[in-house]
Structure 1
Amino acid sequence: MGSPVDIDSDTQLVSRAVSDLARDTRFPVVFAGLEHGGAIHVTSIAGARTHSLDGLVVQQGRGLGGAALLEKRPRLALEYRTARSITHDYDRAILGEGIATLLAVPVVVSGRPRGVVYCGSWAPAPVGDLVARPAFRAADTISTELRVREEVQRRIATLTPAEPIPTLPAAAQEDLRESFAELRSIAASLTDDGLRQRIAAVQQRLAAISRDEPDPPAVEVSLSPRELDVIACAALGATNAEIAASLTLREGTVKSYLQSAMSKLDASTRHAAVAKARRAGLLP
């Protein structure tokens, strides 16, 4: 489980996903929550006409959402009130809102159920692929973001040393550079500003660790985030095509960023640009 800051951030992620889903889906009421302590804690609700869903906590294996969480697959109750394939522990909340048809889509991260996205209608209604697709997309969005955040947290925990290391063996230096480039690639895909800032702080420490001299570099150069992303990949010997694939950019866009960075660093080749970026303390 993450820290309170992480939980708040994850809650904001779910809230954004619910807001987007409420706009895109044909279901009039949407709600969702993440799993904590073996239960789904509903934290975001859109379109409800009552307060019946407020504070809803669904235990794993109970109700429609609990079954979806346990089985790690979507569950649908076309006639919720009379559905026999689920327990009815939460009828007071669901029927209190007047929901007749309910769809529950689990959020699965690396094979582990992490939450559930619900869509409900106040009258029985058929649910085909077209109707269900926005709910699947919302669950996938939450899943992808959570997976990236977990990877970032893992790398922050393993890559940030307690004390600066004055010198590193060649193999460790290369691993440091690869980790730096991958962190930049992960950060580029995040929507959470707080996490991006934390990653940036770790990157600065990684760059500082690799320098032999304790004093800050004399050369002051400012590269844009994308220019630094490209230079970090180029430092590993990646081609423009490989950089484009890693950063989900067009190859021509990579070339443009690289040329801009070379110009700012007053370098005639990518190798010279990498060397100057390291001397400037921008790269490990």
Structure 2
Amino acid sequence: MRTPHQESVLSRAARILEAFSQEEPALTVSEIARRTGLHVATASRLVGELVAHGFLGRDDDRRVRIGVRLWELAVRASPALSLRDTAMPFMEGVHDVVGHHVQLGVLDGDEVLFLERLSAPNSVINYTRIAGRLPLYASSSGLVLLAHGSADLKQRVLTGSFTACTPATPATPARLRVTLAEVRQQGYAYCPGYVHEEALGVAAAVRGANGRVVAALSVIVPNDPGAQAVVPVVRTAARGVSRALGAPTGKETAEV
């Protein structure tokens, strides 16, 4: 294993950027050094350079946070932004009907990453947030992405570790295999109480121009019998986004 002083400057800078989280968006240099394993002097020097380039910024109290320049560069040519912009009118339509949470998630590594979320006051509890992540096996969006993912992805998740959010979470290989088969057979994920016992997720696949699944559109509603009524709304919206992305027709349940 390479020791920290053998790392490239770029690798160290990347570790500094990854030290921030949504729960703690602002950190002191000492906190950054502790989280990254860098010497305080090294962390201070690199933070100073990142601030000079606008990738990091400083508050009035000298705490450090992600800079606007980094956001600008990330957005400028992001394929995720194009996907989000295409999906937004359909998401707004679903939100008008459902009145709770509507989300757009994509596969990133072995997790689902949420690009966008629409919510309303007094909506049912929801742990997701924009730029937040959840395990693939626990969320409706994640299950759709996993069900249509590669064999290697399924193997990694099925042989990995599981943490059940609730008793309903399919947090064993056997239960997950059954759940994935159901998702592929019925064309959507229906997840009562998987992440929180009071919430229910419904998700459907969004396909790109090559017919492959590129995202999952989902809603989070109260976990009650009335939730079944939102299934056709979600599936119709997901098909609409797919068509807008140029997906071939008739690909909703096609194998990847």
Under a length normalisation based on structure 2, what TM-score does the superposition of the two structures give? 0.42
Please identify the structure whose Cα radius of gyration is greater: 1
Q: Whose strand fraction is larger, Structure 1's or Structure 2's?
A: 2
Under a length normalisation based on structure 1, what TM-score does the superposition of the two structures give? 0.38
Q: Whose helix fraction is larger, Structure 1's or Structure 2's?
A: 1
